Amino acid sequence: MKDLSSVQNDLTSITEIKQGAEDILTMIEILEDETNTPGKPDNEEWESVEMMLGDLDKQINKIETQTYLGGKYDEYDAIVSIHAGQGGTEANDWAEMLLRMYLRYAEKEGFNSEIINKISGNEAGISTASIQISGRYAYGYLKLEHGTHRLVRVSPFNAQGLRQTSFAGVEVMPLIDNDLDVNLKAEDIDFSAVRSSGAGGQNVNKVATSVRLIHKPTGIVVSSSSERSQIRNREIAMNILRGKLFQLEQERIEKETAKLKGEHKIAGWGNQIRNYVLQPYKLVKDLRTKVESFDPESVLDGSLEEFILAQIRL
């Protein structure tokens, strides 16, 4: 049923593009006929055609980009985790800005999103958070956001008004539901349940619903506290753990490939992938694709499409 739905969505997209192209051709023919008669069309009508062409070009570009998403898990849902780097309150605030950015991106792209784990900072922002982004190609679109994101701005937490640089790490994993390739064994997992904290009514204080898993061979620790059911939180935590193990395997393969190529570069914490500069000038620059935007406010509001499409096509 999932494959059938995907094919139907593809057919719908292609049909819409075909119909859009036919509508534009019809409009051009009408306007050209009017050009040769008294009372020729004004520029606004031709500008309308140009806008339709621009929209059609975006649709075609999106379909073309999906042909690059041929990885095994590219069509899966994604788990995006954001971790504040060193820098205390400033880094916590930057991590929360990134959390909002990805939530807004998901909304604009028509994906569903849900915060599945969130730990607040001591004074402001967040220490870490994980969100599940659901929709076709969610992981394929977001997987190259994995890495370190750097912010330069005048700190709102600094009374002297000095510029400050902050870092936050982003992890992106596919949401792998009971996939045998991950080779996850029950005996390798330590499970514990604790009482959740925060809003949620009396159930929060009476029942141990928050789940913590430790994968003994790797030392990976995952938590989930978004649901009131311990069973549901355990399912979510297991899916996150599968994704982390998949990411670990991907990094191992990348290391081996890099050795063969004579270059070693891990796509993880410590390798800056994008700069966001708010002062003394405004610029967002991806260091891999060289794509730039002089409107960082729009980017931080979720307008990531240009950066993400360029990453996929790189």
Q: What is the mean pLDDT of the chain?
A: 83
Strands 210-215 and 283-286: unpaired
Chain centroid to CA 151: how far? 18
> Of 194-208, 251-265, 269-283, where does mean pLDDT reach its minimum?
194-208
Give the global pTM: 0.72
Residues 14 and 107 in one domain: no
Residues 160 and 207 in one domain: no
Q: Which of 35, 68, 101 is the last residue of a domain?
A: 68
Distance CA 284, CA 151 (A): 9
pLDDT for residue 203: 45
Strands (DSSP E) along 10-110, which ranges?
78-84
Residue 73 domain-assigned (yes or no): no
Residues 119 and 236 in one domain: no
Highest mean pLDDT among 37-51, 143-157, 196-210, 219-233: 143-157
Supply the CATH number for residue 236's domain: 3.30.160.20
Residues 87 and 128 in one domain: yes
pLDDT at 189 over 90: no
Residues 88 and 223 in one domain: no
Supply the CATH number for residue 101's domain: 3.30.70.1660
Residues 173 and 83 in one domain: yes
pLDDT for residue 37: 59
Q: Which tokens go with 280?
A: 């003394």
Which strands make up the sheet holding 210-215, listed edge to edge? 189-194, 210-215, 220-224
Which residue range is the domain that position 52 belongs to?
1-68
Q: What is the mean pLDDT of residues 15-39?
A: 83
Distance CA 73, CA 115 (A): 21
Residue 279 domain-assigned (yes or no): yes
**pLDDT tier at 300 (50, 70, 90 boundaries)?**
very high
Residues 101 and 142 in one domain: yes
Residue 138 burial class via C-beta count within 10 angstroms: exposed 0-12, middle 13-18, buried 19 and up: buried
Residues 244 and 279 in one domain: no
Helix (H/G/I), strand (E/B), else coil: 194:
strand
Instruction: List, in sequence order, every residue forming a beta bridge with 87; answer none if it has no partner.
Output: none
Residues 83 and 4 in one domain: no
**pLDDT tier at 180 (50, 70, 90 boundaries)?**
very low
